[in-house]
Chains A and B, each alone.
Chain A
Amino acid sequence: MGQQLETAEHPEQLERVVIEPLTRVEGHGKVTLLLDEDNHIRQARLHIVEFRGFEKFIQGRPYWELPVLVQRLCGICPVSHHLAAAKATDMLVGARELTPTAEKVRRLMHYGQTLQSHALHFFHLCSPDLLFGFDDAVRHRNIVGVIEDHPEIAKQGVLLRKYGQEVIRVTAGKRIHGTGAIPGGVNKSLSTGERDYLLEDIEQIVSWSQGAVDLIKQIFFEQLDYHMAFATIDSNMLGMVGADGGFDIYHGGLRARDAAGKTIFDHADYTDYEQFLREGVKSWSYMKFPFIESIGSEQGWYRVGPLARVNNCDFFSTPLAEQERRAFSAVANGRPLQATLAFHWARLIELLYCAEAIRDLLHDPDLLGADLLVRGELQSRGIGVIEAPRGTLFHHYEIDADGVVEKANLIVSTTNNNQAMNESIRQVAGQYLDGKQLTEPMLNQIEVAIRAYDPCLSCATHALGKMPLQVTLEDAQGTVIDRLEKSSSGTICSTG
């Protein structure tokens, strides 16, 4: 689905629809839709201006600065960059295996980060209007009513987020610019007071997380056909799994499966990622298009993130999340669940896992240990990979004999999902945008598809400003035919 929409035979004869969020600096995206003379969608392209320049920002800096420095790359997931860089610097300092205390403190930090990120996505967008589209009020009116009648659901989301932030603060040492993970380990473990502080609320956190999964399941099953079909594409899926095949977002090997669930590669050493993955380029986008090398650029693109991870893993090690994974898998009848809106469901299963995993770790005495650091012989090449909230995150550094970074290559989660987002947009465009008339439901459906992936729009810079969404219809000569603009408050007006 959708492949035929990417390359029209005569693009010069097509009309163009541009959907462009206007941001102040970087990180904006737009959707370009090209219509043919019969007003059918022939091309659809999602453009995201990738956060550029970070490799240059990093080059010339000493390697030991990396875990702190890279937190400046992204204001929404600094901990993900912190930990990926820390893993890469582990390799640089020859630390092949961390102490149990160091690994568990890092895992706790990572679970806290993922918990707060996933909670934000669901609860901040907890209105089904936002998750599933504004013209969908009838379909989801029961859920809308539930949330309107129970404002504590929104409060739970805020408190879940806050709890995750507290886990980060305790493990990283500070609310922002944390320094917890360092090359070869961590610089602090937990005190009994810190552990007990986090234990106070963990049962409530697990309970709220379970409630969130129950809510998303209710939403999903209320209109199962719609959720299974909307923006759904058949894709390969890539993610990390543990040595036992279980769900693991901190460390493991890479597993790729095709759309039918057949294994492409498994337990691949991520330090050899360049043997498995390639980063393609296209003339119309600044963002790269990674693909699985053995399949090729046309068919080798893949999805990462919650949907891929929950599909790819054999099991969750925590009981509640494993129960939910089985319910998730049952919907797809033995194949990977390809529904794009199932991202929301998978995200909350991961939320529940993180809550359970935090609880387990808080009862582990290793968290209080004093053996924090290991060191070996300095290496020139360091690669760290983790599963960030939005998907697989690669950090690759090469240093000189003085420990100064000569080369850096980062593949962030949203880049991994680049082609897949295009495919989902195309699917939606082909279904909803037939004709020259720009409509509010069309705009909303495009947003719903984008929102499912929760793409990182490089908002490490974010000074006060609105993010309106502008839709412009142009003919092949660039003449504006129609234009719609949507403000950040949701108001839509014609400006054509």
Chain B
Amino acid sequence: MPAAPVNPVLVFTWGNASRGDDGLGPALFELLEAKQLAGALPGVDLLTDYQLQVEHALDLQGRSRVLFIDASMSARAPYELHSLQPERDAGYTTHAMSPGAVLAVFEQINQRVPPPAFMLSIRGYEFGLGKELSSQARTNLQDSYTLVCDLLTAVPANDWDQYVAQAAS
């Protein structure tokens, strides 16, 4: 299976839209996809899935930057943004991986440093089966959408680190 050509920036969201605010990632994906279909996000690939797994390390190949996006129960509202480093999981199940673990798999299978990667954690509140996004989560979603659009369209690649550091402070 030859690798398809990719854009330099990857935005990867994940979550389960049937689990209330766990669907924040896929919801942001839909907003970004609509913007991309309007031609407003050149040079960006968008991917979404239920959860992170080892094969997603393959999706990082050929990228200059990667932005992971997920819901969080512990992040400060409306979101937290920080940079990521490879970090191996040592859990007892194979059910989900952290983004740092995906970077570690990239490093393991390619024997080189993964692309610069960043994590946007959107604060969620209700994660019950069959629930809709909570009203607070919807507010956080809009704030996150504004942030990501700014990052993808107005911040030069070399300035992401500085931008993220300012957002984290």
* A463 touching B124 in the complex, CB below 8 Å, given contacts A72-B18, A78-B50, A163-B1: yes
Residue B103 interfacial (CB < 8 Å): no
Nearest-CB distance from B36 to chain A (Å)? Answer: 17
Which of A75, A121, A201, A451 is within 8 Å of B96, CB to CB? A75
Nearest-CB distance from A447 to chain B (Å)? Answer: 4
Please give, as numbers and ranges, the residues of chain B lying within 8 Å of A176 by CB-CB distance. 48-50
Q: When the two chains form their complex, are residues B95 and A57 in contact, meaning their CB atoms are under 8 A apart?
A: no
Please give, as numbers and ranges, the residues of chain B lying within 8 Å of A56 by CB-CB distance. 130
Q: When the two chains form their complex, are residues B108 and A463 in contact, meaning their CB atoms are under 8 A apart?
A: no
Q: When the two chains form their complex, are residues B129 and A459 in contact, meaning their CB atoms are under 8 A apart?
A: no
- Segment at the interface with B among A1-9, A150-158, A360-368: A150-158
- Which chain B residues in 36-83 approach chain A with CB under 8 Å? 48-51, 53-55, 57-58, 70-74
Q: When the two chains form their complex, are residues B127 and A25 in contact, meaning their CB atoms are under 8 A apart?
A: yes
Which of A76, A157, A455, A463 is within 8 Å of B72, CB to CB? A463
* A75 touching B51 in the complex, CB below 8 Å, given contacts A163-B1, A489-B88, A489-B89: yes
Number of interface residues of B (CB under 8 A): 49
**Number of A-B contacts defined by CB within 8 Å:** 147
Please give, as numbers and ranges, the residues of chain B lying within 8 Å of A158 by CB-CB distance. 54-55, 57-58, 105, 109
Residue A326 interfacial (CB < 8 Å): no
Residue A456 interfacial (CB < 8 Å): yes
Q: When the two chains form their complex, are residues B129 and A200 in contact, meaning their CB atoms are under 8 A apart?
A: no
Q: When the two chains form their complex, are residues B55 and A165 in contact, meaning their CB atoms are under 8 A apart?
A: yes
Nearest-CB distance from A174 to chain B (Å)? Answer: 11
- How many angstroms from the CA of A176 to the CA of B18 in the assembled complex? 13
Please give, as numbers and ranges, the residues of chain B lying within 8 Å of A157 by CB-CB distance. 54
- Which chain A residues in 154-184 approach chain B with CB under 8 Å? 154-155, 157-159, 161-163, 165-166, 175-176
Q: When the two chains form their complex, are residues A463 and B90 in contact, meaning their CB atoms are under 8 A apart?
A: no
- How many angstroms from the CA of A449 to the CA of B92 in the assembled complex? 9
Q: When the two chains form their complex, are residues B93 and A120 in contact, meaning their CB atoms are under 8 A apart?
A: no
* A451 touching B127 in the complex, CB below 8 Å, given contacts A163-B1, A463-B73: no
Which of B54, B70, B91, B92 is within 8 Å of A161, CB to CB? B54
- Name the CB-closest residue of B to A121: B94
Which of B71, B94, B105, B128 is within 8 Å of A464, CB to CB? B71
Please give, as numbers and ranges, the residues of chain B lying within 8 Å of A121 by CB-CB distance. 94
- How many angstroms from the CA of A155 to the CA of B107 in the assembled complex? 10
Residue A494 interfacial (CB < 8 Å): no
Please give, as numbers and ranges, the residues of chain B lying within 8 Å of A27 by CB-CB distance. 95
Please give, as numbers and ranges, the residues of chain B lying within 8 Å of A197 by CB-CB distance. 1
Number of interface residues of A (CB under 8 A): 58
Residue A480 interfacial (CB < 8 Å): no
Q: When the two chains form their complex, are residues A488 and B91 in contact, meaning their CB atoms are under 8 A apart?
A: yes
Please give, as numbers and ranges, the residues of chain B lying within 8 Å of A151 by CB-CB distance. 108-109, 111
Q: When the two chains form their complex, are residues B51 and A462 in contact, meaning their CB atoms are under 8 A apart?
A: yes
Residue B144 interfacial (CB < 8 Å): no
- How many angstroms from the CA of A21 to the CA of B89 in the assembled complex? 14
Q: When the two chains form their complex, are residues A154 and B1 in contact, meaning their CB atoms are under 8 A apart?
A: no
Residue B98 interfacial (CB < 8 Å): yes
- Name the CB-closest residue of B to A78: B50
Nearest-CB distance from B27 to chain A (Å)? Answer: 13
* A130 touching B90 in the complex, CB below 8 Å, given contacts A151-B109, A461-B19: yes
- Name the CB-closest residue of B to A69: B18
- Segment at the interface with B among A90-98, A227-235, A465-473: A465-473
- Name the CB-closest residue of A to B88: A489
Q: When the two chains form their complex, are residues A457 and B58 in contact, meaning their CB atoms are under 8 A apart?
A: no
- How many angstroms from the CA of A463 to the CA of B27 in the assembled complex? 13
Please give, as numbers and ranges, the residues of chain A lying within 8 Å of B143 by CB-CB distance. none
Contact with A along B136-155 (1 / 0, CB 8 A): 00000000000000000000
Nearest-CB distance from B86 to chain A (Å)? Answer: 11
Residue A490 interfacial (CB < 8 Å): yes
- How many angstroms from the CA of A467 to the CA of B109 in the assembled complex? 24
- How many angstroms from the CA of A459 to the CA of B89 in the assembled complex? 16
Query: Chain A residues in contact with chain B, CB under 8 A?
Result: 21, 24-27, 53-54, 56-57, 72, 75-76, 78, 116, 120-121, 123-125, 130, 151, 154-155, 157-159, 161-163, 165-166, 175-176, 197, 200-201, 447, 450-451, 454-457, 459-467, 469, 486-490
Supply 17 further A-B pairs (C-beta < 8 A) apart from A124-B105, A459-B96, A465-B74: A27-B95, A75-B51, A76-B50, A120-B54, A120-B94, A158-B57, A158-B105, A162-B55, A455-B93, A461-B127, A463-B24, A463-B72, A463-B127, A464-B71, A464-B99, A464-B119, A465-B73
- The contact sample of 17 A-B pairs, CB cut-off 8 A, is A25-B73, A57-B130, A72-B16, A76-B51, A124-B94, A151-B109, A155-B109, A158-B54, A158-B105, A158-B109, A162-B55, A176-B48, A462-B96, A463-B24, A465-B74, A488-B90, A489-B87
